């Protein structure tokens, strides 16, 4: 394929080509920015496997907004907002810091602003014409809220919203 034009390659092939280029010269560090954006699910899995394999011998810094990439690939992570590191740690351990503290309810779209004013909302999303609201707190905010298992996305939103206590930082292993 050496004579084939790079523009004829699929997105996944271009990504692999870029990694191959980056590996020339045996670097100790590789930085990848949004490496799986635009890839279909099959290519994403292949690329995850490739990055995981490379990460066994090389430090890989992954810059992404795709939370599933972080949870599947990263042993260590940092949440950075406006150039400031807000939180660092291991994804699974950071997620555990929210265990028993994430609550969810559904509200009508017309009631969303009132919910945001009344509760420590970390995220909202539409689901079947209603709005799912996630809040963080040590106790059930009100009737109708149910506990949910926290996700790394909840960690991200709680951190960005300033609702994740700084004591949630996980110390590095000795």
Asked about 56 being catalytic, the answer comes back as no
Give the torsion sign (CA, 105, 111, 113, 119). Answer: negative
Catalytic residue among 34, 53, 113, 146: 34
Mutual angle of helices 41-54 and 11-23, in 10-degree steps: 10
Q: 120: Cβ–Cβ under 8 A, 6 or more apart, which residues?
A: 135, 136, 137, 141, 161, 163
With tokens 């009631």, the residue in question is 111
Annotated catalytic residues are: 34
């Amino acid at each position: 394929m050496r004579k084939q034009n790079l523009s004829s390659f699929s997105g996944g092939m271009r990504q692999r080509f870029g990694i191959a280029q980056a590996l020339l010269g045996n670097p100790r560090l590789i930085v990848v920015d949004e490496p799986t954006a635009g890839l279909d699910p099959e290519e994403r899995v292949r690329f995850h496997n490739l990055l995981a394999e490379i990460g066994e011998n090389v430090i890989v810094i992954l810059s992404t907004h795709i939370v599933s990439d972080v949870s599947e690939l990263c042993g260590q992570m940092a949440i950075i907002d406006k150039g400031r590191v807000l939180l660092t740690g291991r994804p699974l351990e950071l997620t555990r810091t929210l265990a028993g503290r994430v609550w969810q309810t559904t509200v009508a779209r017309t009631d969303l602003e009132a919910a945001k004013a009344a509760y420590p909302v970390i995220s909202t999303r539409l689901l079947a014409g209603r709005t799912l609201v996630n809040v963080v707190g040590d106790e059930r905010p009100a009737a109708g809220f149910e506990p949910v298992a926290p996700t790394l996305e909840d960690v991200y939103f709680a951190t960005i919203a300033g609702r994740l206590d700084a004591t949630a930082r996980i110390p590095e292993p000795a």
